[in-house]
Structure 1
């Protein structure tokens, strides 16, 4: 009977050894994410509400994009990273993985933008043509009815770039789904939108219709606070509901688009459909009264069944039409709030223990005790140093006094010696005079 020796090191399991179909499923799970509009804050994010009925602002409202005047370069800053994509680093692991995962990433994700100039800077100037050709789903929606949100800082003129906007869309041949702000279909002197729509029907065979979308911001503060800038961080600034609604604009038509037809369509969106959606949303979602619609923020009451986990509703518009909307910026459901509380408790319990097993409070107490000992030791050392300095100062004073006494004694001794010498000299002089007188007297006698 033949024996087979198994060498454990002869075979190493890696993703590359799996069939490419299984690899594609794994990579799809890693790189395909929900759209930017539907993303929520993570439990670790500071913006996630912790109180009941507190509204959760969607992550996309915290994005702030700065573009140069030509819209060729952009810089994006955000208060939190909850809206950022998490699986992009996988595309940089190796060329083999990039070759399989890159088509999945570009073809199965929906790429969302807040403004047309942001889309131009990202897709036209900062994206490779081979990647642009893989894109199948695009969404350009603005909270501002004019299509120029305050989240985008652009010094140039947007109307001059709308022609580039439609041309860039037509350079995405695999496009199957397109959402744009309804403000972009309005023809102008500089942009012939109707001609672009006719060309899109020929150049984009997989795109049968365009979804004209808009966001209706409903602020809890009422008029003057439609939606906040991304740099507002106070609690009231982001108490805003965003109602997303859309209508389909077919591209496959028997006749060509006319400029006046698009103008009428834009006016119907802006002055009728958008207003109807806003009115119905305030009545159904905020508890407003049709007779006192302007004071809807005074009777603000969001239904309990409407929450961040259940945000899709069918609206009955004042003109009798029905439409489906999605609401963003809603409070958490009771289930999600409980998950948030459990997560906070788990984090608190985890933070009670250090990696070495000691409690954080005990560790802090030990640190305080060591600090007190160190301070006491430093105080004792400073006291000893002060006492030594005082002793040295006293010794210096005593040495100075002794030296002064010695100098005085030396001066007194020198003075005494000089006085004795002077007296000796005077005595000698007196003796000499006496001797001279004696001699003189003896000679005269």
Structure 2
């Protein structure tokens, strides 16, 4: 991407994609983490049926207007506008045989009420939906949602828009790798598209929660403040390189330079200068070429939350200080989560010391972001990588591709070049982490 395109990205208008979920009890395909299609089926449902779980529910009970009474002051800092505030759940229905939805007054993200969605052990997923008989116009929008999941380290969230029916669906799927038992905003990236959704006529929004990792136990999560924001003019791709490997300089950098692409290097201070790792001089050359040297603490075989409170704070603080003391102040603003899992205590320190944070999400992200500390990444070498780049280009979202070794010690050099050529053909800007912050400033 040329410098002109990068400047265009920095000045582009932002947008939060409108992602919702449709309540038709029919089979819907979504893309799992491997990039394979998976069918979402409601127990005993007729694929041609378009009725609610309760036959006594009528269309007139569905409010077709976006919710607009959400408290403003506490949400003024967020991009876009609220389309569902979950203050009134009369229009929301638990999907047949797949859990239930109830009011939650004591644990809210904003306003006075959120929605609690649950399913007992043995039920595959917990799901709820609402219908819009006159259609909801989410054309040109991106979505974000406030979520709090309980009782497990990881969680799988899907939001779907049926536009106008179960044959025309836009799906957003995000793997959440912490923090558990704490509210977070999720910028919903498009995961899959069935047929040709008409986003000017969204008839249903569906929200689905699944277990991830540990398949035992109940499913329980809260949702609040579904927001829509205008999409930017173009999508974006960010190339994230983990582990401070020498091949990021000797191989990836050389190829990326041919395209004028910046990158983000996740720097482990203790690894710098070791055999097979980046040297300080190499890091400075990358920095001079527009790369960000981001902070990535060394935790060994442990997750960050397995350290004491004092150790967590020290790891995060010292890693940032290492970069700042060596002239990488811009890169030090960004945090890359070691081993991808983070819990609430460490997240507080990340927010205190850093302006932006990355961890595994398994899909693209909405831009502009509603939470810069919850940017999801996915593997740059996986079978779904090009598909997610396509989704970022089509829906003007952000795809963060994460790499480890390039060349002899990892992803084939030729395949890496072919991937960058593929990206170069798409209507996206390739940006650094600092570009993202400057665009949202």
Q: TM-score range by the shorter chain?
A: under 0.3
Structure 1 or 2: more strand by fraction: 2
- TM normalised by structure 2 equals 0.21
Structure 1 or 2: more helix by fraction: 1
- TM normalised by structure 1 equals 0.21
Higher Rg of the two aligned structures: 1
